[in-house]
Structure 1
Amino acid sequence: METYLIYLAAVAVFFATPPDTSQLLIISNSVRYGLRRSAYTIAGDLTANSLQMTGAAFGLAAIIATSASAFVWIKWLGVAYLVWIGLQLILAKDRPEDVAATASGQSARLFRQGFVTSMANPFAVVFFGALFPQFIDPMMPVLPQLLILGLTYLVVDGAILLLWGWLGLRAAAALRRFSFGLVNKICGALMIGAAMLLASKDFEPER
């Protein structure tokens, strides 16, 4: 239990930062589509995290750390994807009723945004590969410990993303009083900001 509480504290410290790439995406989608539909984006993000944790457990972190250049293209495809979404929003001419009319068919696209944005960061696999071993007792079965650590991270991450989405929803109510076009432009700017954050993330191969 003591080790688990220390792990919780470490995860909490990790999230005690300004919004990162995925959180900016959640804020943007909550502002534009509402918190309920942005939950699909959260599901996509957590699905990607689950795969990254699995990759870390099977040693993919070591492969990425020693062959970082082979994975750089994944990051830059993610950056281009976010910039493309952002520019679409900034240039959009739709009205609130247009968004409401098409929102019901956005579930798969919102899930894909969350999934691609999270998977585009190979650093996450290295992060999980470095984090989990610090809290695993080698004298006990490893798989149950990995499951507990992984599920805990997903729960905390999901709660943080919901909180940012809720804050985005509150901001949306104020923004729509001024102009829906302004909402589009702010959402687009958030997407491009997320792209810049992703572009700035890097890691050095182990030597």
Structure 2
Amino acid sequence: MIDPTILITYIAACFLFSIVPGPSVSVVVANALGGGTRAGLLTILGTEISMFSMVLIVALGLEAVMAVVAEAFTIIKLIGAGYLIWIGWKMLTSSGELDLHASRRMSARRYIWQGALVNWANPKTLLFLGAFLPQFVDLNRPAFEQIMVLGLIVMAVATVTDALYAFASGQARHLLSAARVRLVNRVSGAVLICGGVWLALQRRA
């Protein structure tokens, strides 16, 4: 059982980590604006599936896994950067016209895959979890179970904060004009493009 004091500190840290908008939040907001709350929530499902896989990797042993992944780090990084830039460009060039029935016709699989790919597009997330989660592990107890519990907690917090963005954006889409949606898409697109460029320029630690 995790010490309550440590648990409160950990949850607070998870909240701060999750509430700051990043590439994943930008995609959630953009999809919720374009396809409604459902589209945003499906995107979140994709991001959480990818995050669970990252937590599992950390729990199984980050050092052992990274010994293999590190050789392909540059390729993973560049592919991820390119994907972020591509999505950002699509947002920048979107018309801003909202189809209120788009979420009914759009494949749920598309939103889920997009959320998962955007999250996996940044291998720094895996490295962050690898550095963050072990800080709260009791070395006198088996690490696997602790890391999985800690990982599920950060996923739960991220789901709540991202869902708030999705619900707010899904409701706001009915109040926004095409010009305002286009502005939001351009800001989100610029964030993703900058994130992709930044990721491409990062050197492996």
Q: Which residue of 1 aligns with 2:59?
A: 57
Q: How does 1:84-95 map to 2 (within 5 A)?
A: 84-92=86-94
Q: Which residue of 1 aligns with 2:170?
A: 169
Tell me if structure 2 keeps the 8 A contact 1:26–1:38: yes
Structure 2 letter corresponding to 1:80: G
Alpha-carbon offset, residue 170 of structure 1: 4.0
Structure 2 letter corresponding to 1:12: F
1:172-192 CA distance string (max 9 Å, x none):
23323xx2x653563254134
Of 130-139 and 51-60, deviating more is 51-60
Q: CA RMSD in A?
A: 2.8
Contiguous gaps of at least 5 residues in structure 2: none
Q: Which residue of 1 aligns with 2:145?
A: 144
Tell me if structure 1 keeps the 8 A contact 2:84–2:121: no
Q: Which residue of 1 aligns with 2:184?
A: 186
Identity across the alignment (%): 26
Relative distance call for 1:33 and 1:128 in structure 2 (3 A) is same
With normalisation by structure 2, the TM-score equals 0.82
Q: How does 1:39-188 map to 2 (within 5 A)?
A: 39-60=41-62, 64=66, 70-92=72-94, 96-97=98-99, 100-101=101-102, 103-176=104-177, 179=178, 183-184=181-182, 186-188=184-186
Of 5-14 and 128-137, deviating more is 5-14
Distance 1:124 1:117 in 2: 11
Relative distance call for 1:162 and 1:80 in structure 2 (3 A) is same
Structure 1 letter corresponding to 2:17: F
Alpha-carbon offset, residue 115 of structure 1: 0.5
Relative distance call for 1:121 and 1:189 in structure 2 (3 A) is same
Distance 1:34 1:74 in 2: 31
Of 65-74 and 153-162, deviating more is 65-74
Contiguous gaps of at least 5 residues in structure 1: none
Distance 1:71 1:92 in 2: 32
Tell me if structure 1 keeps the 8 A contact 2:81–2:122: no
Alpha-carbon offset, residue 27 of structure 1: 0.8
SS across alignment from 1:193:
helix
Relative distance call for 1:192 and 1:74 in structure 2 (3 A) is farther
Q: Which residue of 2 aligns with 1:33?
A: 35
With normalisation by structure 1, the TM-score equals 0.81
1:114-160 CA distance string (max 9 Å, x none):
00010011111111111121111122232331221011011000011
Structure 1 letter corresponding to 2:29: I
1:89-137 CA distance string (max 9 Å, x none):
444569544x625742331111111000100111111111111211111
Relative distance call for 1:116 and 1:5 in structure 2 (3 A) is same
1:17-63 CA distance string (max 9 Å, x none):
3x111111111111111111221110110011111111122233565
Relative distance call for 1:123 and 1:91 in structure 2 (3 A) is closer
Distance 2:71 2:90 in 1: 30
Distance 1:101 1:117 in 2: 21
Distance 1:57 1:156 in 2: 19
